[in-house]
Structure formats: structure tokens, C-alpha cells
Amino acid sequence: MENKLYNACLEGNKSELLNLLQEDALLLDRFITGRYPETPLHVASMLGHLEFVDEILTRKPELAKEVDSRNSSPLHLASAKGYLQIVKRLLQVDPDMCLVSDIDGRNPLHTAAMKGHFDVLKELVQARPWAARVLMDQSETILHACVRCNQLEALTLLVERVSDHEFLNCKNHDGNTILHLAIAAKQTKIINLLISSTTIDVNCVNEDGFTALDLLSRNQRDAIDKEIVESLRRMGATHGQDKPLSNSQLKAIRTKILSSTWDQPNAASKSKKRKDGKRSVKNKNGDWLERKRNTLMLVASLLAAMAFQAGINPPSGVWQDNGPSGFSSTESNGKNHTAGFSVLADNHQRVYTLFIAWNTTGFLASLSIILMLISGLPLRRRFFMWVLMVIMWVAITAMALTYLECLVALTPDHQNSLLITILGIAVLVWIGLMLILLLGHMIRVLFRLIKYLRKSVMRLMRLMNPIATRPALV
């Protein structure tokens, strides 16, 4: 049904949509409750099928709030394609979608301005004018986007409708205003608009200390450069460093400004990636702790159940009647047994004592782990998880020894030699495994200690000799 609906969206076949909804009334609801790369409303809005969009919004207006895999809403797609009537219909349903940003940090107003769809932009600004003041990536405004895409008409509208002095002179992450961008690209019409019709600061400097006038060549400039310089001079523009720039310096600065588009890696995006990387490491550590926590709880519960079962049902069972102890009534040695008590306790006291000791140790260790995990304490640090794992080692070892004592109690005397051989091999393998684990953890702790000491020594050396460790200035 979903495939048929997508085909109907591609063709804008309204009658097919109605037929599909008659067959399955919940067809559109699945795109709200489920997770799809895009909804039928996205497809219809992108292709400009107005009647199809209107029918979907009439039946399920909630779809106007759904976003696709790039976090774009239907309003994003309709604005990018310039479908004015579809934009109006979507705004009737939910005008607040103007504030939703896609994966690139752009809302529908940014998209319409960059594409130069003047009528669409005008409609969006009228619906939610404050959405135009939302910053994009690299701290650029919608005005920066208009200048970069050379959209004079859109820039004029925004300057008239939503710009004030502060917003007009906003800087991006490189400290460039829209005047810096316009002069670097030699966009004469935009420069004249900014100089003559706005309160743009002609002497604003970027991070390199350059004003708009610094971006123009003083030597061998063409007529356009001369006209721009005269206009800037009339507005009181000056050089940032009060000295002319060489042609090579000017070319390097212009290239830097024009190449720092929002689609390329930059300092802001790298900083964001570093933050995201740190966040991902924290999430990774949290996932590791959560997995360890769940595993310890599961294993501890199984060990506790095994220990409890062995404690109430010891090897060899319990006496079923009262009478003399021993293998037969003639070998009682003058001792009596009582119904319900352990047979092993009367016939093999030493083995029974060891059995009870190891079983109780494993049982208490398992209960300790369960108690600590459900206590509500913030056991989020790795140290506490290592403590729980050590207790788990004790519990597993105790249960292994309990198993060995059970074998000793249940094995007849003529099989003792075979039992000793098997137990000897098992004990050696177990000890070897424990030593390997212990050695691995010791090596890991040793590496961390060496790394910590190395950092401490380097820090101490920097404190004792700060000049020697300071990087040379060029």
C-alpha cells in the first residue's frame, strides 16, 4: 500500500489517493506513527501537486509537522522549489514550521532566500518574521545567504522587513559582515544598496583586522573598484590598519572570504564536531556501563538462584526418616539421624563443611551485587563497575568450588583416582585463566599509570621552564 501511495504522489493522482484511503483508512497514519525517509506530503510538496497536497492536509494536517531523513519539512521542499500556493496551504496548517531547521541549519526562509523565490519569501516573512533572524551554521544570517547567492531582490525585502542596525551588521564566525562579502565578490548593486539605503557600518573590521575598504585594491583598480571606493569614502570609510594592501594580500583575503562558504569545513563546524565527538565518547562510556550493569545483574541473579537451590537441596539429599546414621543400620556407629537433615552432613562432615562455606560465599557475593545494582546509588564510574566485577569473580569462583565439593561427595571411593585427575586438570585450567585475566588488568593499569606520570612530568616541566616550552613567534 505504501508503494502504491508513493506512485500516486509522484503522479499527483488524487483519485488514486482516495481509492487507497478507502481500502486502508489508516494508511496516512502510519507515516505519523512510523519512521520513513519521507512522507507522501514531502513528495507531493516537492513536485508541486497542489490538489494532492490539499487532500492530504485536509485529512491528516499532522503530516505538515513531519520531517524527512534530512530533517526537512514539506515547507522546506515547497519553499526550495518556489511553489507559492503549496507554501500558503502549508502555512495555513502550521506557520510555526518556518522555525524548523534542517540538517544544514536552514529554515524555509533561508532556503527561499538562497533560491531567490521572492514571492515565497515574502509569504514566509509575513507569517513568521522572527524566523528570518535565526542564525544558520557558521553564525551567518539570512542576509549573508542572500549576499553569497547574489539575491538582491530577496536582500532588499529582508532589509525592509526584518533588519535593524544590529542584525544588519552581524558578523559570521570569520568576523565578516554582509558588506565584506559583497565587496569581496564585487557585487556592485548590493554594495550600493547597503551603502545608500541601510545603516551598515562601513568601518567594521573582521577577525583579520580589515575593513571593507581594505578589500579593494589601491593599485591598478578598475572602474568598478574606483566607484565603490568613492562611495565608501563618502560614507566615511577608512582602512583598518591605515596602510594600503598589496595585490597579493588583497587576493589572499578575497579568496579566504569567498571560499568560507557554509557547505565547507570551517572552524565553527570543526568545533561542533569536537563537541559531538566528546559527546559521543561520553555516550559510548555510558553504553558500556549500561551493558556491564545489565550483564552483572543477569549473571548475579543466576548464581544466586543456583546457590539457593544447592543450599536447600544439598548433594546426597536429606534423610527421609529417623534412625541410626550410616550406610546401613548395622554400620550406624551409635549415631542417629533425623528426617529432613542432610545425609552428607552425617556421612562426610568435612566435605559438607566446605560445601556450605563455598556455597554461602557465592550466594552472599551474588546477593551483594544485586543489592548494589538496585540500591539506586550512582554507579556510573568505571571504578565501581570494576569493584562489582571483582565481587562477581569471587561469586563465580565460589560456585566452581561448590561444584567440586559436590563431585567429591557423590563420587564412590573406587573412582577417587579418576576424580582427582579430572579435578587437578580443571583447577590448573581455572588458575591459568584467572592469572591471564589478572595479568591483563595489571598491564592495563600499568599503562594508565605510566601515561598519567608522563603527563604530570610534562606539566611540571612546563611550570618550571615556561620560556623553553613556549612556541617560537614568527
Residue 329 has pLDDT above 70, yes or no: no
Task: Tell me which DSSP letter residue 199 carries.
Answer: -
Give 133 or 386, the one with higher predicted confidence. 133
Give 165 or 126, the one with higher predicted confidence. 126
Phi, psi of 405 (to 5 degrees): -65, -35
Which pLDDT band, with edges at 50, 70 and 90, does 459 fall under? confident
Among all chains, which residue has been given the C-alpha cell 491528516?
60
- Work out the mean pLDDT of the chain and round it to a whole number: 79
Average pLDDT score over residue span 103-110 = 92
Average pLDDT score over residue span 109-124 = 94
Residue 437 has pLDDT above 70, yes or no: yes
Whole-angstrom Cα distance, residue 406 to residue 310?
A: 10
CB 365 within 8 A of CB 395: yes
Phi, psi of 149 (to 5 degrees): -95, 5
Residue 273 has pLDDT above 70, yes or no: no
Average pLDDT score over residue span 370-382 = 69
| R_g of the chain computed on alpha carbons | 39
Question: What pLDDT score does 320 carry?
Answer: 80
- Cα 447 to Cα 113, 386, 433, distances in angstroms: 56, 17, 21
Question: What pLDDT score does 81 carry?
Answer: 94
Neighbours of 315 (CB within 10 A): 19
CB 469 within 8 A of CB 462: yes
Residue 84 has pLDDT above 90, yes or no: yes
Question: Percent of the chain at pLDDT above 70?
Answer: 79
Average pLDDT score over residue span 275-292 = 52
Give 65 or 249, the one with higher predicted confidence. 65
Residue 382 has pLDDT above 90, yes or no: no
Question: Percent of the chain at pLDDT above 90?
Answer: 22
Question: What pLDDT score does 316 carry?
Answer: 77
Whole-angstrom Cα distance, residue 122 to residue 109?
A: 9
Highest-pLDDT range among 27-36, 118-127, 138-147, 412-421? 118-127
Sign of CA dihedral 223, 229, 231, 233: negative
Average pLDDT score over residue span 214-239 = 69
Average pLDDT score over residue span 104-120 = 93
Give 148 or 174, the one with higher predicted confidence. 148
CB 60 within 8 A of CB 32: yes
Among all chains, which residue has been given the C-alpha cell 554594495?
191
Question: What pLDDT score does 388 carry?
Answer: 79
Domain ranges of the chain: 2-204, 276-410
Neighbours of 199 (CB within 10 A): 12
Question: What pLDDT score does 243 carry?
Answer: 46
Neighbours of 70 (CB within 10 A): 12
Q: Which helix (H) or strand (E) holds 452?
A: helix 416-464
Which range is least confidently modeled, 211-220, 252-261, 362-371, 385-394? 252-261
What is the signed CA dihedral for 111, 116, 117, 121, rounded to 10 degrees? 60
CB 346 within 8 A of CB 325: yes
Residue 142 has pLDDT above 90, yes or no: yes
Highest-pLDDT range among 9-23, 113-127, 256-270, 276-290? 113-127
Question: What pLDDT score does 46 carry?
Answer: 93
- Cα 450 to Cα 381, 446, 455, 457, 458, distances in angstroms: 21, 6, 9, 10, 12
Instruction: Measure the N-to-C terminal CA separation of the chain; round to a whole number of Å.
Output: 68
Whole-angstrom Cα distance, residue 451 to residue 437?
A: 21
Question: What pLDDT score does 166 carry?
Answer: 87
Whole-angstrom Cα distance, residue 203 to residue 458?
A: 45
With respect to CATH, is domain 2-204 assigned 3.60.110.10?
no
Q: Which helix (H) or strand (E) holds 184?
A: helix 178-184
Whole-angstrom Cα distance, residue 182 to residue 191?
A: 6
Task: Tell me which DSSP letter residue 105 carries.
Answer: S
Longest dimension (CA), the chain: 128
Cell of 36: 520513513
**pLDDT tens for residues 27-50?**
888 888 877 788 899 999 999 999
Nearest to 150 by CA among 94, 119, 188, 206: 188
Question: What pLDDT score does 294 carry?
Answer: 73
Question: What pLDDT score does 157 carry?
Answer: 92
Question: What pLDDT score does 78 carry?
Answer: 95
